[in-house]
Amino acid sequence: MSEVKISQSVAVLIDGNNIERSILSESKEKASMLNFDKLIPRVLQQRSLNRLVYFREGKNISSKLGERLHTLYYGSIRPCHKSADIPLTIKATQLASKVDTIVIMSGDSDYVELVAHLKNEGVRVEIAAVESTTSHLLVEEADYFHPITKADWLILNTSKNIRPTTKKKTTKKKKQN
């Protein structure tokens, strides 16, 4: 039996606020975040990454996250004025003719119509989200569902390793005359 080589171009669009809230809900830890090193390769499944965009509401977005996404995946972060729904939808529609598959990382039912539209345009649409916080309608509409599990996030160590400051004892030598 010969090996089948899958040549698909994939765009990964992440609704950061939705995924962050879902992981927080599951982990009950404020310092939990996606482990992109595990999740992205698992979602890509040997396919090529065309684009990775992390949409997040607000202006307080970690510059370290932006640097890491760019360094590892040539990804970018897009700050959103309110919710990520509209900017993510616009980007997905723009990419529809440029990629074979779009992976939307969100469990938000607001994306059901977008998924239906993209599929009608001939794009394979996959959802990656925490199952317990994901709309069943969204999963049913998508071509495939990637559950995000505990193995796909990490909990940052928030305790600071602060060493107690101790003053060195200095002894003064008396001058001898």
Number of Cα atoms under 13 Å in the Cβ half of residue 72: 15
**Does residue 85 register a pLDDT over 90?**
yes
5: in domain: no
**Does residue 166 register a pLDDT over 50?**
no
d(CA 36, CA 153): 8
User: Residue 2 — pLDDT band, cuts 50, 70, 90?
Assistant: confident
What is the per-residue DSSP string for the chain?
Answer: -PPPPP--EEEEEEEHHHHHHHHHHHH--TTEEE-HHHHHHHHHTTPEEEEEEEEEESS---HHHHHHHHHHH--EEEEESS-SHHHHHHHHHHHTTT-SEEEEE---GGGHHHHHHHHHTT-EEEEEE-GGGS-HHHHHHSSEEEE--GGGEEE---S--PPPP-PPP--PPPPP-
Which range among 45-54, 77-86, 92-101, 116-125 shows the weakest confidence by mean pLDDT? 77-86
Q: How many domains does the chain have?
A: 1
Tokens of 54: 């992390």
168: in domain: no
177: in domain: no
CB distance 97 to 121 below 8 Å = yes
Give the residue among 93, 84, 133 at the shortest CA–CA distance from 113. Answer: 93
For the residues 20-36, what does the mean pLDDT come to?
87
Query: What Cα–Cα distance (Å) separates residue 47 from each residue in 9, 42, 99?
Result: 7, 10, 11
142: in domain: yes
Q: Between 20 and 157, name the one with better pLDDT.
A: 20
d(CA 23, CA 25): 5
61: in domain: yes
62: in domain: yes
For the residues 92-106, what does the mean pLDDT come to?
98
Q: What is the pLDDT of residues 104-113, one digit of tens each?
A: 999 999 999 9
Please calculate the CA angle 107-109-113 and round it to the nearest 5 degrees: 120
**Does residue 163 register a pLDDT over 70?**
no
**Does residue 150 register a pLDDT over 80?**
yes
Is pTM beyond 0.75? Reply is yes
**Does residue 169 register a pLDDT over 90?**
no
Q: Between 36 and 81, name the one with better pLDDT.
A: 36
**Residue 30: domain span:** 13-106+122-130+137-155
Write down the pLDDT at residue 52: 97
Tokens of 86: 């509209």
163: in domain: no
50: in domain: yes
